[in-house]
Structure 1
C-alpha cells in the first residue's frame, strides 16, 4: 500500500486570523484609512472647515482690522483730531447771549464809524439773525427768532443817542428807533423764522423716513 504523504513548505506554521485581525483588514466598501476606527467616526479627509455667515470658509491667515475714529459727545472724537465739518450748536441761553453780544458789537462799530446806527447796524443784524438760526440746536429752534428782536432793542436802548435825560425820553427814543428801523428788524426776524421753519420741516421728514 502506498501512503500519500502531504508535504508542507518549510517555515513557521500559519495561524488562522483572529477577530481583531479580521476587523483590521479592509474589506469591500471600506476606506483603507478607516481600518480599526469606530463605526461613528468620520474620516479626516472628509472634514471641512466651518463656513461663515456668507457660506465662505474662514480665512486661516492673519486678519486685518481697520481702526475707525469714534465720535463722542459735543462733535468730538474719542481719539484723533476734532471734527470741524459740522458747526457748533447753540442752546437757548447761548443763543440769547450770542445775539446780544454780537448785535451790541455791530452797533458799537457803526456808532464809532458813522456816529449813529445806520445801514451797517442793519446789515450786521441780518448776519447775526442768520447765524443764530443756522447754529441753534433743534430742541431750541424758537430761541433764534425770539433772541434777535430782543438784542435789537437792547442795542437801541444802550447805544441810541438820547436828546434829553430821563426814563420817558429813553422810552420815546427806543420807540422812535424801532419805528425808523422796522425794515431791518422785520427782515432779520423773518429771515431767522424762515430758516428755523425750514430746519423743522426737514427734521420732521427725516424722522418720518426712519
Structure 2
C-alpha cells in the first residue's frame, strides 16, 4: 500500500470534481459566510477611500438646504466605522489618523457662500468649529474599533503561541 504520488513541481493540480464544487459554495476571496469582507485596505487606501466618500457626500450635503450638517455627520460616522473595520491588521492605526483628514476634505467640498480662497478657508474653519461633535464622535468610534481589533489580534496570537509551544 503506497501513498499516491505527488505531482511534479510546476504541474497543475487535478481539476475538482463536480461533486466537490456542489459541496463548497463559491464565495469571493477572503469573504466568510454572514460577515463583512476580510480587511484589505492599506493605510493609504483607507485615506483615499474615506476622503473620496467624504468629498462626494460633502458635495451632496452642500446641495441640500442649510448644508445638512446632520446628514454629513452621520455619513462621516459610518465612514469611520467602515475605515476602522476594513483596514489591514498591520496598519490598524492609520484609520483614526485618516478619517479626520477625510472629514476636512469633505467640508472643503461642501463649500458655502464665500469669495476666493479666504472665503473658502473661513467657511472650512467655521464648519469645523460648529460641527466638531461629529468629528470627535467619528474619530472616537474609529479609535475604539481599532483598539478592539488590536486586542482581539493580540489574544489570538497569544493563544496560538501557547498551542504551538505547549
TM-score (norm: length of structure 2): 0.72
Change (3 A) 1:81 1:195: closer
Give the corresponding residue for 1:125: 76
Structure 1 residues 177 and 132: CA distance shift in structure 2, 3 A? same
Structure 1 residue 151: Cα displacement? 0.8
- How far 1:201 sits from its partner (Å)? 1.1
- 1:123-162 maps to which residues of 2 (within 5 A)? 123-162=74-113
1:82 aligns with 2:28: yes
Q: Which runs of 4+ in 1 moved over 4 A?
A: 66-69
In the other structure, the counterpart of 2:6 is none
Paired with 1:136 and 1:111, the residues of 2 have a C-alpha distance of: 29
1:109 and 2:60 equivalent?
Answer: yes
Structure with greater Cα Rg? 1
Residues 91 and 137 of structure 1 are in contact (CA less than 8 Å); yes or no, is this contact kept in structure 2?
yes
Q: How far apart are residue 124 of structure 1 and its match? A: 0.3
Q: Report if the CA contact (8 A) 1:107-1:117 is conserved.
A: no
Larger fraction in helix: 2
CA RMSD of aligned residues (A): 2.6
The structural deviation recorded for 1:115 is 4.9
After superposition, the C-alpha distances for 1:67-93 in whole angstroms (9 at most, x for unaligned) are 879xxxxxxxxxx65343151421111
Residue segments in structure 1 that go unaligned for 5+ positions in a row:
1-49, 51-65, 70-79
What is the total number of aligned residue pairs between the two structures?
Answer: 137
Q: Show the counterpart of 1:20.
A: none
Distance (Å, rounded) in 2 between the aligned partners of 1:159 and 1:167:
14
TM-score normalised over the length of structure 1: 0.58
